[in-house]
Amino acid sequence: MNVRIRKYCALIPALALIVTSILLLVVCEKNDSDPIRISVNNWIGYTPIFYIHEKGWAGKDLRFATVSSLLESEKMFQAGMTDGFAGTQYEYYHGHAVSQSLVPAILINRSVGADGILSNVGLDALKKTKSEIPVYMEIQTVNNSLFSSFVKEYGLERLSFRKVNMDQASMAAMKPPATEETSILLITYEPYKTELKNNGFIEIASTRNIKLLVLDAIFLEEEVLDRKTETVLAFKKNLERAIAALREDPKEFYETVKPYLGNQTLAEFLGSLEGIEWLIAADSRWMDATLKENGIPPNRLIR
């Protein structure tokens, strides 16, 4: 009896190894068939992603989660709800602090005016403000860096500012104060910037005249990029295809992505696109030095 028990005991490690191997194969097979999950907020530069989604080009390989802010997008990644996100290098810094395997996979665009600073008063009146100035923004995003650059470059350090955290969708409903004696600032981006200007706010600065790199890209877990390289490559080609569709038929593109543009008209949409530079179809190697200077490794970018 003891001999028989010993034989059974000797079989246990082998059986455990077989079971573990089967489970690993099942998990790997499941992971390989899972779509890449990417969170995206309503920024004008991400409209090619929305176009891909609306056209069904991504099929079952990609899943997009539309969120209201850059911060929400980043938090979803940090919570493990997504494999990556569309964001700027500033969200990348925060995400990389949580997961050091986060890498830039696809360059999308850079802002050359689509991110802006709005106020209810002009710049000269703002400089004369003696009371505390509320500044509405998504604090833990590139908005904060844009505001800091604005204050420094325009010599506004002597003014008293109070930062107020607010997502862009909520901010877009704001109206200018009834009296100009109360000065406020809003740090925003398209399509919300157009909506706020239509509400009566004045644009006093933007990434067109502030020396700040605001770069948008798809950031992914390196393991996902390695395992799903062909899917990411197909995604990049579809982004190029979407940009081509935009150039060939702007009206059709606009009508397709209109649900993501708030109240922007076709003319406003096309006007806001002048504030970004597309990097999707361009050879991004010329950006490598700039990326390295800003702490972004370019070696994993899909070329």
**Tens digit of pLDDT per residue, the chain (303 long)?**
444 444 444 444 444 444 444 444 434 444 667 999 999 999 999 999 999 999 999 989 999 999 988 889 989 999 999 999 999 999 999 898 889 999 999 999 999 999 999 999 999 999 999 999 999 999 989 999 999 999 999 999 999 999 999 999 999 999 999 876 789 999 999 999 999 999 999 999 999 999 999 999 999 999 999 999 999 999 999 999 999 999 999 999 999 999 999 899 999 999 999 999 999 876 667 788 888 888 888 999 998
In the block, residue with structure tokens 């972004």: 296
Please, are residues 148 and 205 in contact by the beta-carbon 8 Å criterion?
no
What does the longest C-alpha to C-alpha distance in the chain come to?
A: 96
User: What confidence score (pLDDT) does residue 17 get?
Assistant: 43
Specify the CATH number for 115-206; select among 3.40.50, 3.40.30, 1.10.150, 3.40.190.
3.40.190
Query: Which fold is adopted by the domain 31-112+213-293?
Result: D-Maltodextrin-Binding Protein; domain 2 (3.40.190)
Beta strands in 169-240 (DSSP E): 185-189, 202-206, 215-221
pTM, rounded to two decimals: 0.86
User: What confidence score (pLDDT) does residue 182 get?
Assistant: 86
Q: Which long-range contacts (CB under 8 A, 24 or more apart) does 243-246 make?
A: 243/48, 243/278, 243/280, 243/281, 244/281, 245/51, 246/47, 246/48, 246/51, 246/273
List Cβ neighbours of 89 (8 Å cut-off, separation of 6 or more).
142, 213, 214, 215, 217, 294, 295, 296
AA letter at 280: I
User: What confidence score (pLDDT) does residue 249 get?
Assistant: 98
Residue 10 CB neighbour total at 10 angstroms: 9
Domain limits, CATH 3.40.190.10, in the chain: 31-112+213-293
